[in-house]
Amino acid sequence: DAPDDYDAKTTARLAGVIDLDHGFLLSASVGQGFKTPTISQTVCDFCFPAGPSAGLRPETAEGWDAALSWRSDDDRFYARVTGYRLEVQDQINYGVGRYVNIDRTRTTGVEAELEAELTERLSLKASYAFTDAVDESTGAELIRAPEHAGSLTLLWTGNRLKTALTVRAEGEQAD
């Protein structure tokens, strides 16, 4: 990335997948990220009082994830468990009426997914996520990052139509 208003930044990512046979796959990745403030964050169009957010720095991040998945031979069932960690420096966050940088944040979590084809036209998907997101400078929980979240989706597929009903739930979260 080489934006006009910030120093250029080179990021890297490495990913791989290993087929473990019998429908199992092991996948993992490690990488870096770079994000400059958006126009909305810079101009601070939703801030109170109105006016630009001064001195916002770009975010830089490093993270990894690893997953184990399984798919049945007949393709009717699928399951996946993923663990991850993301560490961000200068994370851009909205707080106290303005956009500000948080020095260091860390998000660690586990996600689980299940899919089942119940009939030729009806399938079910379920997911759950546990997330531990903290401001490493203060130890405070990050806002808008629920510790528990999940969903359940029932899908129906017709000849020319497809429809889904999803129920989603999230645990308490700081705001």
**Reported confidence tier of residue 50, pLDDT bands at 50, 70, 90:** low
Sign of CA dihedral 128, 130, 135, 136: negative
pLDDT tens digit sequence for 87-114: 999 999 887 778 889 999 999 999 999 9
pLDDT tens digit sequence for 60-74: 999 999 999 999 999
Q: How far is CA 147 from the centre of its chain?
A: 13
Q: Please list, in sequence order, all residues whose beta carbon lies within 8 angstroms of the beta carbon of residue 96, skipping any fewer than 6 positions away.
A: none
Instruction: Report the alpha-carbon distance of residue 144 to residue 46 in Å, rounded.
Output: 17
pLDDT at 40: 80
DSSP string, 43-96: HTTT-SS-S--TT---EEEEEEEEEEEEE-TTSSEEEEEEEEEEEEEEEEEEET
The mean pLDDT of the chain is 91
In the chain, what percentage of residues exceed pLDDT 90? Answer: 70
Q: What is the pTM of this model?
A: 0.84
**Reported confidence tier of residue 20, pLDDT bands at 50, 70, 90:** very high
Instruction: Report the alpha-carbon distance of residue 128 to residue 47 in Å, rounded.
Output: 34
The answer to whether the beta carbons of residues 35 and 12 sit under 8 Å apart is no
Residue 5 to residues 9, 10, 105, Cα–Cα distance (Å): 12, 16, 24
Question: What's 118's DSSP letter?
Answer: -
pLDDT at 174: 75
**Reported confidence tier of residue 7, pLDDT bands at 50, 70, 90:** confident
pLDDT tens digit sequence for 105-142: 999 999 999 999 999 999 999 999 999 999 998 999 99
